[in-house]
Amino acid sequence: MARLRVGVLISGRGSNLQALIDAAADPRYPAEIVHVISNNAAAAGLARAERAGIAHSALPHPSRAAFAAAADAALRQSGAELVALAGFMRILDDSFVAAWRDRLINIHPSLLPAFPGLHAQRQALGAGVKIAGCTVHFVRSAVDSGPIIAQAAVPVLVDDDVESLARRILAAEHRLYPMAVRLYAEGRLRISDDRVAILGAPAAAGVLFNPSPAC
């Protein structure tokens, strides 16, 4: 059975890209990464793609429209069927979002719709929430909006700072993103009225309390 062809857009270190690369290394995984694109020629994630033998490009970003046209052309040439944003730190042109509608996903370090935009972990700490997490969603033109595919929650600890909370959330991201791509590749996602139904997905068991009910 043919594997889903995935293009990945990055801007920096590419740790979520690496999680996808690692998942795709298993021949049973239903997706493969065919092209990695960065708006930053110095992005460490490009080296990750090179080590994995994946085609990669650094594209200039003179404007949103120019980058969108170049990225769209490169992705289509690679035969990409799904585009995954993995730490891509620019707002995409509306034309790109429209062209890849329902084939463009993102991961964000908060439980959306809470704390969209930059510095989500700092926003969470500032709000005093007891539970934070990450979200994979289909992309729409508004920043960090769109139908939610999957989420993972982590506790916020009393001594957390931005860095420690970010590390805990990132560990969850590395598990959540490959799962979401797998669900897409298996054809198990259905979008209706801006909500995503997942075919054959059992409900999550248990409840995350913070603080513990034993306190």
Q: Is the pTM of this model over 0.95?
A: yes
Q: Class of 4-198 per CATH?
A: alpha beta
**Residue 108 catalytic?**
yes
Q: Provide mean pLDDT across the span 32-57.
A: 98
For residue 87, which of 125, 37, 47 has the smallest C-alpha distance?
37
What per-residue confidence (pLDDT) applies to 56? 98
Q: Mean pLDDT in the chain?
A: 97
What per-residue confidence (pLDDT) applies to 203? 82
Residue 84 pLDDT class (50, 70, 90 cuts): very high
Check whether 43 has a pLDDT greater than 80.
yes
Check whether 40 has a pLDDT greater than 80.
yes
Q: Which residues contact 160 (CB under 8 A, 6 or more apart)?
A: 125, 168
Q: Provide mean pLDDT across the span 101-129.
A: 98
Catalytic residue, from 35, 56, 61, 108: name it.
108
